[in-house]
Structures are given as structure tokens and as C-alpha cells.
Chain A
Amino acid sequence: MTAVKTGERLFDGADWDFRTIQRIHDACEDIALNELGLSVYPNQIEVITAEQMLDAYSSVGMPLYYKHWSFGKQFAHQEASYRKGLMGLAYEIVINSSPCISYLMEENTATMQTLVIAHAAFGHNHFFKNNYLFKQWTDADGILDYLDFAKAYVAQCEEKYGSIAVEQTMDAAHALMSHGVDRYPGKKSLDLRAEERRARERREHEEASFNDLWRTVPSGPSKNRAELSAERRRALLGLPQENLLYFLEKAAPRLRTWQRELLRIVRNIAQYFYPQGQTKVMNEGTATYVHYRIMTALHERGQITDGNFLEFLGSHTNVVFQPDFDSKYFSGFNPYALGFAMMQDIERIVSNPENEDRDWFPDIAGRGDVMGVLRDIWANYRDESFISQFLSPRLMRQMRMFHLHDDPADTSGILVEAIHNERGYRNVRRALSRQYDVGLIDANIEVMDVDLAGNRRLMLKHAVLDGALLNEVDAKRVLQNLADLWSYDVLLAEVDATGVVLKEHVVHPRVMAAAA
């Protein structure tokens, strides 16, 4: 890459062309790699229109995706609110892939393009490449190929088995998507290329070795099911299993091969997105911190003008705005604001600590190497652990955090459990970190057992936490989908910590088009 001479302007005014983008990228890269010590996937920058940005929105930002009506619904809805001016578009979308693809909107000014490149192409990119969750759960090299395969496979199934049958299966799979991820590392990491190859080979083998005679060969006497003890049966089925889609793919008795493959596709994609939900604060915090550092450095070097820098500060301030809880704009913590504030706070603790910080963070306080500490944090934490370890009392005071405890049994009202004072710091921090605990965000639902000897009823358990039951209407709908895939009755018991069953849902399967 050509090094940009210090002091030379990257661009004048708001206009840009592709050479400008190249210069901006090179200047940002110089700072990111040499000053901040980031390590990134190769970058691919794509310039798109607002229309295309809307398109990208509706397929969760991915450049290619299989076809499904729900994305169209998403699109219709977003288009409506965009046209009415209710919603602005994001400045960028970035994809966790190698090469790392960032979309730039053509309407952006040159300053905004610089911001977006610093934010997405270096901030997010570094996080994707180095954070342990992404390393463990996602395969950046293979994702685009896998999506391509998935798209073709779904289209092929529609051709072969009819779009209605495919749609029903996909609807059901989507309903269970949030319960289609492995939450604990398995035996092997996900290799999406191998995954695609495996599906192809299996299909080819089936086609090559097809012999209709096998169908007519009588099978031997079946094993006496009663002999299998309940324990053994559960072990064979891999129970209890919290990945519902995985369980269905492997054990649902009447699914066709292609239906299992569809479930697998939905499951693999859900798994790919799994880390993003757990690292919102950190991911945005990292990217925001990186763009702030890069833009400041560009300004110091004289590569952007004061005017550009002010323009940048304008959008930056909008992005990290945190409304108070009683503001009408409030909708929870803004991950950009919280993440950026924490990163800056850590920078302060490492370089310029106070006594309080030395007590709370003996490991990092005053260590001096800001980027070293931050890089280590970015690599080894997720939101929950990040907040529970690095939220400082000073920041809690600054954001004036307080902890509310709402117990419906207590009729007098909502209790202020703790506030930003000496007695409350640990309490507030623990509560906030629990708010980001993925184990507490999603309902904990597991497949417990199958009544193999009897009516093949599938038994699920929802481990109820703090007395929060499932929304009845939606639970019924999801279970209906589950029952359709399982093709026998499904029973979901909501059980509290003491083992008392609070509620039971039973659903009978409908006849699916594919089963006919």
C-alpha cells in the first residue's frame, strides 16, 4: 500500500471518487495497523445506493440469502417507514466474512466515508477477526460460499418439492431459529465449506447408489424397545438437548432428507449470528473507539481539515447519544454509547488512573499500554463478562445508573434496589451484566424425552426463571411449528426451579404438504 505523506489532505469538500476512497483507506490502514496495532481481514469496500441498502436490511445485511417471504415482509415494512421519513438508514453495514465486506452508501460525504471506513473496515473487522466468540462460532472464510450454497439448495428444493412444502419447513425452522444454536463449544469448529461439500456428497452418493429393491427387503425383527432403559434411550437421542433444530434434524422420525438439510441450513446460519447478539456493546464500542482514534489521528496529522473533523464530531455525538430513562427517546442502553464510554474509561484507567481505579482494577490501572490492554479485552470477552469486569464506578456515576427491582408480588411498587454509590456499585454492575447474559435473554428450553414406546410424544421443558412464563399465544404458534416438524404431539412443561410444573402446553401436528 502506498503510504500517505503526513500532512497531505486526503480530500477537499464533500465529494469523493474511487481514488479518494483508496487514499482514505490507506491512511486509515496506516493508523490502524501501525498506531493501534489492529489485525484485520482483507477489506472489500462496496459502494451502494440507498435502495440497495434497504435491500440489504431485509436480508439481515447479507449480500446473498435464500428467498423467503419474511424478508419481503421486512422489506415492505422498512420501505414504508423509510419513505415516510420515520427511519434514517444506517451509514454502513459490515459483514463478518473474509474478505470483510463493508457497504458504503453513495450519499455519504467524504468525511462520512472516512468515518465508515474507520468504523467498519477496521473497527468491526478487527473485532470479527480476533474476538474468541467469533473465532469459535463463525467461519468467516466460508460464510459467503455457504450462503450461496444455501440459496441454491433452497431454490432447488422449491423446484423439486414445491414451494409450499419448502415454505412450510422454512417457516417452522425460522420459528425455532433462536433455539437452534449450540450454546457450548462442541467437538469441532464449524467449517462451512466442508458443510457444503458434505451435503453435496451425500446427495450424490444417494443418487449413485439408489436401488429401489432396498425398499422391499424385509427388515429384521426390531429390537425390544422395552429393553432400552429410559437412561439409555435418552443417551442415544442425545438428551437433554437445548438445540431444538439440531434435535429435529437428527431425530424427527418423518422428515425427508431435504427437510433435514433445510433445518441444518437455518441452524448453521443462526449459529453464525449467535456471537453478534452476545457482543453488541463490545462490537460497537470497539468500532466506535477505533473510528474515534483514527479520525483524531487523521486530524492531528492534518489529513482532514478542521471542518471535516467538526462534521465527524457531529455524527459521532449523535451516534453515542444516550437518552435518560425518562426521556421519550429512551429505548434501553445504546450499545454505541455504553461501549464507547467503557472503552474510553478503560483508556483512562490504563493511562491515568485514580486511587479508586487502582482499588477496582489492580491488573490494568496505570499499566500504560492502552492498546495492548484493549486488544486483549476485545479478544477475550463478551458483553456480559466485559461489563461485569470493566464497568467502573466512575462511569456508573457519570451515567447515573440505578437498579430497579420489579416484583409483581410486591404491590407497593417498584423498588430502587441500588444506585450509583459506594454501596450500590457492585449490585448495579452485576445487574447490568446479567441484562446482557445470553443465558438469561432467551428462554431456556430443552428437549427432555420422547415417549418412544407409546405415542411418540415429544417432551420439552422450559426452566422458568424469576417466574417469567412464555407468552401463551406465541408459544402455541411456535410449538405448532415444532409439532409439524416432529409429526407427533409435543408437550412443553414450564417448570420452576423447585420442579413445580407451572403450566403445560400440548400441541398436535397439522398435516404438512410434504408429508402427503
Chain B
Amino acid sequence: MHIVDRRLNPSGKSLENRQRFLRRAKTLVQGAVKKASQDRDIKDVLEGGEVSIPLDGMNEPRFHREGGVRDRVLPGNKKFVEGDILQRPQSKSGGGNGAGEGDGEDAFRFVLSREEFVDIFLDDLELPDLSKRKLAEVENEGLRRAGYTTVGSPANISIGRTVRRAMARRVALQRPRPEEIARLEAELAECDDERRLVLTAEIERLKSKVKRIPFIDPIDIRYRRFETVPKPVAQAVMFCLMDVSGSMSEHMKDLAKRFYMLLYVFLTRRYKKVEIVFIRHTDRAEEVDEQTFFHGPASGGTLVSSALETMHEIVQSRFRPADWNIYAAQASDGDNSYSDSDRTGALLRDAILPASQFFAYLEVGESGGHPFEMSESSLWTLYQRLRSEGEPLSMRKVNDRSEIFPVFHDLFQRRTGQEVAP
């Protein structure tokens, strides 16, 4: 008999089959999630968990029979005698469940891990202009050893390599060894005259050869060579900008929050480290924590440029664009002081957009309003103009919770070449 301990075998033997299954079910799962997201909390939706998909397309059909005359033997008779007639149960299927029942219409339920869920869900989303900005993502450089070189700084001399080359050269040129000369000199001390002449000449010859062939020649010297390699930037910062002036209702803030949450989920999936900066503004802007951001009271007028300026300052001081991928999402009801437009436009165009990977503007409205019925707000008009000038800005209007998801989807959907090149 053999006993084999399989417990340490790599787990997840079924992983590939599971992935094949998910691949096959992908459209179904995505459909199910989209539908659910219409009336469920986004947070819950993204928790993953059990999903249920229609069996159609996933079923494995077999021939099986139904109906007809059936004979069954059952255990546990209590009161029946031969010849009794039993009432059929109300359901059509009769006494027992006979030779298999068609479960073609049933839904198939199973559990997705959060990661699988988010993976499947966000798979066809990608940031706009990502391919163009890819280089920006890998700006950071690191050093890596890459062989030897004949030039370099003395600090980088590779002693081992240099000495090895020197020795090879000395052997090849037959540089006399010091022991050889010492031996001859010892012999010289105690030999006769005739021999002395020969030896002296020999020693002379060897000594001059030693002088001609140096122990280490500059051509022997090798330096360690380093190469710079680009390292991908694995961190991102997400700026949440929001207008908190009196015109923003709780409902609007809620919409904005949901949008930020989705953006966050998306970023955490792509980057190892994601920082969030909350900037709220009225007629002046300040960086705050999340609690204050969403719930803190504030009042005043509205100057969007103040928020952009604060963001610019923070970027300058803490998030070098070379090291960080910068994402910004701005939510507002669209109000802005008329006089502020020029300044806002200039800031965006010259400071914010060049440093950012992505800038999204979400204009939130009251529940029940229709996006097409909203009159163009001052901020919307301004951004529209910037966009038509070719700035990479994404913008959407949202009135209702159920619209957040499709909007998010729209914003991040893979663009196929129709995007205007900046």
C-alpha cells in the first residue's frame, strides 16, 4: 500500500475550468450586474457575492423523458392497501419526481469572489487615451547592472574583472615572475665567473621585460556598467473636487459620492497604491477629510477656480506628475461666478490637464429632472468649449442614482479611435 500526501499539492486544480466557465458566462454575468445596479446600492453590487444567471446557454442538455405511465416502488407504507386510489397532488408532476424534470428555465446561482466580480465587470472599461499616455505611466527610471564597460568612474571599477584580464595579459606576454628573478639572483650569488656573466645578462633581460610589461595596464581596466530601466509608476492619486455651496443638495452630494466610489474601485484595481485627496470649495477651497467633504456644513458663493488652484498647489507640493498618475473628478451643480470663467479655463488648460491622466466633470442635478431639459450651466458651457478645443475632458450630466452606473460606464469605455487627438 502507498500513502500519498496530496495536501501540499498546488490548490486550485479547478481554477482553469472555473475561468473557462466564467468566460463563457461573461456576457450573462455582466448583463445581470448591469440590471442589478439600476436599483441596488453600488457598494453592494461591487461586493460581489452570489450572482444568478439564466441557465440558457450554460445548460448541458441531455435526452430525458417525461410523462407517460409511471411505476414506482416507495418505502414506508403506513396505511395503504392494494387497490387504493390516491389523489394526485395538485402539481402536475404527480406522485414522485419521475425520470428527471426539465429545469431548463431555472437560474443558475453561484458565488463570485469580489475580485472575479470586479474583474468581469470592469473588463471592458479602460481609461481614455490610455495608449497615448502609457509612456507617462512609465516615466520613473531605475538602475540595473548590465555587464562591463571600458569607460566609467573609478568608483565603478570591477577589481575582479580587471585583475583577471591583467593576469591573462601577463601570461600571454610571458612577463617574468618575481620568483624567477629571485631564483636567478640567488644562483648568481654563489656561482663561478663564467656562469655569472650569463646570469647577469639574463637577469638584466628579465628585469627590463618586467619594466616593459606592466602589472596592470590601463587596457585591463573594466568598469561595472549600469543601465537605466523605466519602472512603471504603480501609484495614483485621485482628486475629488466638489462644490459644497448652498445650491448643492444632499441628493447631489450622494450622486457625486457614488461616482467617486466607482472611480476609486477602478483605480485600486489598476494601481498598487491609490491616494485620495478631497477638495471642497465654495468661493474658496480647502483640503478636507472625507467626513467633512460629504457632510460638513459650508456656505458661500462659488468660485471653481479656487478648487483648481488648490489642486494645482497640492500636485506641486506632494504629487509629482512624474511619480504619480493623477486622476481628477469634479462634481458640481454647474454654478460658477461669471467672472471666474476665464481663470478656470486657463488653470485647467495650462496647469491641471497637462498633469492629469484623466479629468472628469460630473454635473449633478435634482432627482426627477431630465438631463436634456437642464439648461446649459455656466460651467458646462465653459468645459464644452474647452473640450471642443481638443482638451481631454470627460463630462456628463446625472440626475438620478440609477444613472451613475451607465455614466461611469460611458466615461471609461474603451474608445475606438474616434476620440479627437489632443
Q: Which A residues are within 8 Å of any B CB, using their own CB? A: 1, 18, 21-22, 25, 29, 42-49, 51-52, 54-55, 58-59, 67-73, 75-77, 79-80, 83, 99, 103, 106, 171, 174-175, 177-179, 322-327, 330, 332-333, 399-409, 412-421, 423-424, 428, 431-432, 434-435, 441-443, 445, 462, 464-471, 473-475, 477-478, 481
Q: In whole Å, how far is B76's beta carbon from the nearest beta carbon of chain A? A: 3
- Alpha-carbon gap, A481 to B65, bound state (A): 18
Q: In whole Å, how far is B26's beta carbon from the nearest beta carbon of chain A? A: 11
In the complex, which residue of chain B has the Cβ closest to the Cβ of A481?
A: B61
Q: 3 tightest CB-CB pairs across the interface, nearest first? A: A324-B76, A468-B68, A72-B21
CB contacts (< 8 Å) of A322 on chain B: these are: 75-76
* Contact in complex: A77, B71 (CB < 8 Å): no
Can you spell out 17 A-B residue pairs with CB atoms less than 8 angstroms apart? A18-B5, A47-B5, A75-B18, A76-B111, A77-B110, A400-B78, A402-B80, A405-B69, A405-B71, A408-B94, A432-B73, A467-B67, A467-B69, A468-B68, A470-B63, A470-B65, A471-B100
* Contact in complex: A469, B67 (CB < 8 Å): yes
* Contact in complex: B7, A47 (CB < 8 Å): yes
CB contacts (< 8 Å) of B60 on chain A: these are: 70, 171, 174-175
* Contact in complex: B6, A46 (CB < 8 Å): yes
- Alpha-carbon gap, A52 to B11, bound state (A): 7
* Contact in complex: A68, B111 (CB < 8 Å): no
Bitwise interface map of B from 19 to 59 toward A, beta carbon under 8 Å scored 1, else 0 = 11111100000000000000000000000001000000011
The listed residue (B2, B63, B78, B99) touching A44 by CB distance below 8 A is B2
CB contacts (< 8 Å) of A59 on chain B: these are: 13-14, 17
* Contact in complex: B82, A416 (CB < 8 Å): yes
In the complex, which residue of chain B has the Cβ closest to the Cβ of A323?
A: B76
Q: Is B403 an interface residue (CB 8 A)?
A: no
Q: Is B66 an interface residue (CB 8 A)?
A: yes
CB contacts (< 8 Å) of A409 on chain B: these are: 69
Interface hits, B61-111 → A, CB 8 Å:
61-78, 80-88, 94-96, 99-100, 102, 104, 108-111
* Contact in complex: A44, B81 (CB < 8 Å): no
Q: In whole Å, how far is B6's beta carbon from the nearest beta carbon of chain A? A: 5
The listed residue (A29, A402, A478) touching B77 by CB distance below 8 A is A402
Q: In whole Å, how far is B362's beta carbon from the nearest beta carbon of chain A? A: 36
Q: Known: A45-B4, A324-B76. Contact between A477 and B85, CB under 8 A?
A: no
* Contact in complex: A51, B11 (CB < 8 Å): yes
Q: Known: A47-B3, A69-B21, A77-B110. Contact between A471 and B66, CB under 8 A?
A: yes
Q: Is B9 an interface residue (CB 8 A)?
A: yes
* Contact in complex: B77, A80 (CB < 8 Å): no
CB contacts (< 8 Å) of B11 on chain A: these are: 49, 51-52, 55
Q: Known: A72-B21, A413-B85. Contact between A471 and B1, CB under 8 A?
A: no
Q: Is B16 an interface residue (CB 8 A)?
A: yes
Q: Known: A404-B86, A415-B85, A443-B63. Contact between A76 and B110, CB under 8 A?
A: yes
The listed residue (A25, A67, A179, A399) touching B20 by CB distance below 8 A is A67
- Alpha-carbon gap, A432 to B19, bound state (A): 43
In the complex, which residue of chain B has the Cβ closest to the Cβ of A476?
A: B61
The listed residue (A52, A408, A442) touching B13 by CB distance below 8 A is A52
Q: In whole Å, how far is A413's beta carbon from the nearest beta carbon of chain B? A: 4
Interface of B is mostly: loop
* Contact in complex: A178, B73 (CB < 8 Å): no
In the complex, which residue of chain B has the Cβ closest to the Cβ of A469?
A: B67
* Contact in complex: A475, B63 (CB < 8 Å): yes
- Alpha-carbon gap, A101 to B16, bound state (A): 24
The listed residue (A49, A73, A323, A442) touching B58 by CB distance below 8 A is A73
In the complex, which residue of chain B has the Cβ closest to the Cβ of A492?
A: B63
* Contact in complex: B77, A406 (CB < 8 Å): no
* Contact in complex: B111, A79 (CB < 8 Å): yes
The listed residue (B64, B67, B75, B81) touching A416 by CB distance below 8 A is B81
* Contact in complex: B67, A408 (CB < 8 Å): yes
The listed residue (A49, A80, A99) touching B109 by CB distance below 8 A is A80
In the complex, which residue of chain A has the Cβ closest to the Cβ of B5?
A: A47
CB contacts (< 8 Å) of B69 on chain A: these are: 405-409, 466-468
CB contacts (< 8 Å) of B73 on chain A: these are: 401-404, 428, 431-432, 435
- Alpha-carbon gap, A83 to B112, bound state (A): 12
CB contacts (< 8 Å) of B81 on chain A: these are: 416, 419
The listed residue (A67, A69, A177) touching B24 by CB distance below 8 A is A69
CB contacts (< 8 Å) of A330 on chain B: these are: 76
* Contact in complex: A416, B110 (CB < 8 Å): no
* Contact in complex: A474, B64 (CB < 8 Å): yes
CB contacts (< 8 Å) of B16 on chain A: these are: 67, 72
Q: In whole Å, how far is B261's beta carbon from the nearest beta carbon of chain A? A: 27
Bitwise interface map of B from 370 to 390 toward A, beta carbon under 8 Å scored 1, else 0 = 000000000000000000000
In the complex, which residue of chain B has the Cβ closest to the Cβ of A51?
A: B11
In the complex, which residue of chain A has the Cβ closest to the Cβ of B69?
A: A466
* Contact in complex: B1, A417 (CB < 8 Å): no
In the complex, which residue of chain A has the Cβ closest to the Cβ of B86?
A: A414
CB contacts (< 8 Å) of A403 on chain B: these are: 71-73
